[in-house]
Chain A
Amino acid sequence: MLIEKNIQRQTLTLNLQGELDMNTSETLRQAIDTEIERRGIRTVILNLEEVSFIDSSGLGVILGRYKKLLPMGGKMIITNVPSHIYKIMELSGLPRIIEFENTPSRKMEGREK
């Protein structure tokens, strides 16, 4: 998993690349938690465009970071989710909890066969 960090004021944008499973989710957890604690980050934007795989370990870390930000008045936005990853996220119920931007259902509209 490759994590590219971009920080502007209190917003942390992470461009993730690779597979998000139990082997890599800890790296993501630390990457986000460190910035929340060290720089007072309150908005986390996760760009999943280059993520090729996610399972419940990955989903758990994302939900855990959301739960951490919420009581601090922070928020999380998930963007550019590939359609096969979005299907897994949908089944987990995550899109009902966390804000998604540029989701496949909107992006793919009219393009489904």
Chain B
Amino acid sequence: MKNQLELTFTSLPGNVGIARMLIASVAAQLDLALSDIEELKVVISEAVSNSIIHGYKNKEDMPITLRIEYDEKKLKILVRDQGCGIPDIEQAMQPAYSTDPERMGLGFVFMQSFMDDLQVESTVNEGTTVIMVKELENIRPSKH
């Protein structure tokens, strides 16, 4: 079984919840445990929120693309924006690094903790793509 979904939506804060619903449906179809589903919801929420808050500086009419690909072995999530980009990716990924004192700088920490691989590609003034992979072989219930 191989599946692929792609959704492009506007950078409205309310769409973060819709992105979460999509990953939760995919995860449920993959028979993932509730705790894994919760983690994936956090991961999507962080990536999409980053695009809205940092990529687009809360501008509400910009496109965000969420792409989900999976088979029995792995789940790949891609979140792409065409926002301002990240000048220093390494710095942005440091725990507790935040450009806003009201925020905790935990977005990338959660993405790194809950996924097996995290890649960030970014070009200033062109946008950012976050690609995350979760290996499913160890966490899915084996089917006998």
Residues of A bordering B, CB below 8 Å: 19, 21-23, 53, 55-57, 59-61, 63-64, 84, 87-88, 91-92
Verify B20–A22 contact, CB threshold 8 A.
no
Would you give 30 A-B contacts (Cβ < 8 Å), ordered by A?
A19-B17, A21-B13, A21-B17, A21-B45, A22-B16, A22-B45, A22-B49, A23-B13, A23-B14, A23-B16, A23-B17, A53-B38, A55-B42, A55-B45, A56-B46, A56-B103, A56-B104, A56-B110, A57-B45, A57-B49, A57-B103, A60-B104, A64-B101, A64-B102, A84-B38, A87-B35, A91-B106, A91-B110, A92-B104, A92-B106
**What's the least CB distance linking B103 to chain A, in Å?**
4
Given contacts A22-B53, A53-B20, contact A84 B13 (CB under 8 A): no
Interface residues of B, count at CB 8 A: 25
* Chain A residues whose C-beta falls within 8 Å of the C-beta of B20 in the assembled complex: 19, 21, 53
- Chain A positions within 8 Å of B53 at CB level: 22
Inter-chain pairs besides A56-B110, A59-B106, A64-B102, 15 sampled, C-beta below 8 Å: A21-B16, A22-B13, A22-B49, A22-B53, A23-B14, A53-B45, A55-B42, A55-B45, A56-B104, A56-B105, A57-B45, A57-B49, A60-B102, A84-B34, A88-B38
In the assembled complex, the Cα of A88 lies from the Cα of B17 at a distance in Å of: 17
Contacts of A87 in B (CB 8 A): 35, 38
Contacts of B107 in A (CB 8 A): 56
A59 to B107, CA, bound (A): 11
User: Nearest Cβ in chain A — how far from B42, in angstroms?
Assistant: 5
Q: Which one of A55, A64, A91 lies within 8 Å of B113 (CB-CB)?
A: A91
Q: Which residue of A lies closest to B41 (CB)?
A: A53
Look across to chain B and name the residue whose beta carbon is closest to the beta carbon of A22.
Answer: B49
Q: Is B120 an interface residue (CB 8 A)?
A: no
- The answer to whether B86 has its CB under 8 Å from any CB of chain A is no
* Across-interface contacts of A53 in B (CB, < 8 A): 20, 38, 41-42, 45
